[in-house]
Every structure is written in structure tokens, then in C-alpha cells.
A = this chain, B = another copy of it.
Amino acid sequence: MKKRTLIHDIARHLEVSITTVSLVLNGKAKEYRISDALAERVMQYVAQVGYRPNQLAKSLRTGKTHVIGLIIEDISNPFFATVARLVERHASARGYRVLYSSTDDSAAKAKDLIALFQEQHLDGYIIAPPAGVEAELEQLLKSGVPTVFFDRYLPGLATDYVGVDNAAGVYQATQLLLDQGVARIAFLTTESTQTQMAARQQGYTRAMQEAGQPAQVQHVPLNFDDDSVREQSIAAIHQFLQDNPACEAVIFANNSLATLGLEAIAQLGRRIPQELAVISFDDNDLFRLHSPTITAIAQPVEALAEALINVLLAKLSDERPAAAQPQTVELPVSLVVRGSSARQ
């Protein structure tokens, strides 16, 4: 348990004042007309003994932590995992740490997390909000902490948002099937009413409507928290497919659903795409390697991460607190056509 060196120790050793050391360390040497020689001497000794200021004390004093909180749905979902690490990479390149955690899309967990993060006095937030946390978020926004929503937003709350054009993606995917003469297309989605899910569904409904085909939307229970629900979800999809033998194609509203769906399809022994065409929202390794490969609506993860960081850091450095109009970034998705959507 050797004790850490303190700013005081280094000042004493160098026989200069604590102020000088602090000023040099914070890049204010010039401003306070400290000689380059002295500044250099300080920096050198600091490096030599490996002195690291205590961030707790620093933050307590300055009110800044240089940490941003990333609250996502589920870190074990490839989409969120990828965005998380990209955000982290960009943030750290710009001097920020990111602290991330999953809500499992539960309002209770999200509330805990927000409270926890607030106690830690993070500088800003990126949040994929579950339903039911409007009040907490509103309070968070009112407190003036820079916050940007991601993946979905909460209609009542005016803040920055970064996401994709969900409706267009699904519309396009539905078209792809319709153009091949596949008309009995079902849309499998979760029970959630989140904006991104609603938009995806709406893209599907519109395409079907325009084609004069009846839409068939099926809601499947989905829960990341409890592994037993996993089986239930598979069973539900299984059931649906069995009850709808005429269904020629299914579009899954996200990649968790699709993964579960592939399992259900395998159980039933339905051949893809001959007996059932499949398209998933969100791309991932599994889809590239599956036999057949799975057509997916891919979100531009790299661009999303960059946009998130840019929007947030802009707010962070900006002086005008909640002045400007909230910024909204909506990126296009791309349809990655693979084997599972091909007409046999």
C-alpha cells in the first residue's frame, strides 16, 4: 500500500509552489507567464515519478469528469456492442472516457443507471431510452447535462437524436420481396412501442399497402434479461410459422428476433429461401455465415458512432446550454442482399 505522490510532494521536491505545478499541469503556464524552463522542469519531474492527479479531487473541484455515459439496450447484441466500441474509440481519441451499461430495455434498470450515473457526475449522455423513463429523462435534460438519444427517441422530449431511417429500410426490404412476386410477407416485431420499432413496422405496412397486399404483423415477446424468455420467444415464432403455412417470407424487426427466428425455422425444418424467405433488420456475423446467408438491412454503425460523438462533443464544448434547436441526425440504412431473400 505505498502512498501515491501528491501535487504537494512534487511542488516540495522542485521547491516551487503548488500553484505553479498545478498551472503547468493544466496548460496555463503561458497564461501565467511561467518560464518555459520551469515548466519543462515540472513536466519532466512529473513524468519521471509518474505523477497522476487524483481525478476525484479534480472533478470535485472543477465539476467536470470527462466521462460520458452510454446507456444502451443490451451489450451482448452485436449492433449495440459495435456501436459501443466505436463510440468508445472516438471518445477516447478526444479525451473522454465512456462508461457503458445495458438497460435490457427495462425502465427500472434505466432509472437506476441514470441515477447512478448522475451521482458520478458524468459530463454527458448517449441514451437508447426504453419506454417509461420520460420523467427521469426530462429531469436529466432540465438539469442541463448534454444528452443525445440514440436508436430511438421519446416523442415528448426535445433533445438531440441520432438514428437511422428505419421506415425506408424496411420499405425497401419489403419491396425487394414484392418485386420478386413474393406477396405473403409477415413482419415479426417485438411488443415494444419504441419509435424505431414503430417506424420499421410502418415501412413494412406502407409497402404492403401500396402493393395492395394485406399486412400481417406479429408481435413476439422478447426479453434480454431472462434467459427463459428466450425459449418462449422461439416457441412463439415457431407457433406463428406453424399457424401460417401460407406465409412465404418473414421480415424480422431486429437482429435478436432474427436470431431467435432462425432457430425456430431450423426446428421446423423449413428451407430458406425456397419455403420461406427471410430478411432481418440489423446485420451481423451470423447472417454473413449462415447457410444460406441472410439478407439484412444494415445500419451504418461507423457513421452512427461518429455522429453520436460529434453531436455530443459539440454540446459539451458549446457554451450555449440548451440554447440551440435540438439536432437530429437520421442516417440511411443499406439493404445487403444475400441468399435468404432470393426467389428460388
Contact = CB atoms under 8 A, between A and B. Distances in A.
A285 interface: yes
Given A52-B115, A75-B75, A82-B76, A1 B102 contact: no
A100 B259 CA distance: 26
Interface stretch (A27-35, A117-125, A195-203, A208-216): A117-125
B52 A56 contact: no
A1 B143 contact: yes
Contacts of A184: none
Contact residues of A: prevailing secondary structure:
helix
A275 interface: no
A85 B72 CA distance: 12
Interface in A255-275: 259, 262-263, 266
A289 B261 CA distance: 10
A88 B224 CA distance: 14
Interface residues of A, number: 46
Contacts of A142: 2
A198 B17 CA distance: 53
Contact of A289 (B52, B88, B119, B263): B263
Interface string A194-234: 00000000000000000000000000000000000000000
A119 B53 contact: yes
B290 A263 contact: no
A239 interface: no
A322 to B, nearest CB: 9
A100 B100 CA distance: 8
A259 B1 CA distance: 44
A321 B263 CA distance: 49
Contact of A78 (B76, B121, B144): B76
Interface string A287-329: 0111100000000000000000000000000000100000000
Contacts of A101: 88
B78 A119 contact: no
Interface of A: 1-2, 52-57, 59-60, 65, 75-76, 78, 81-82, 84-85, 88, 92, 97, 99-102, 112, 115-116, 118-121, 142-144, 259, 262-263, 266, 285-286, 288-291, 321
17 contacts: A2-B143, A52-B115, A52-B119, A53-B119, A56-B60, A75-B75, A75-B81, A75-B84, A76-B81, A76-B85, A88-B102, A92-B112, A97-B116, A262-B289, A286-B289, A289-B290, A291-B291
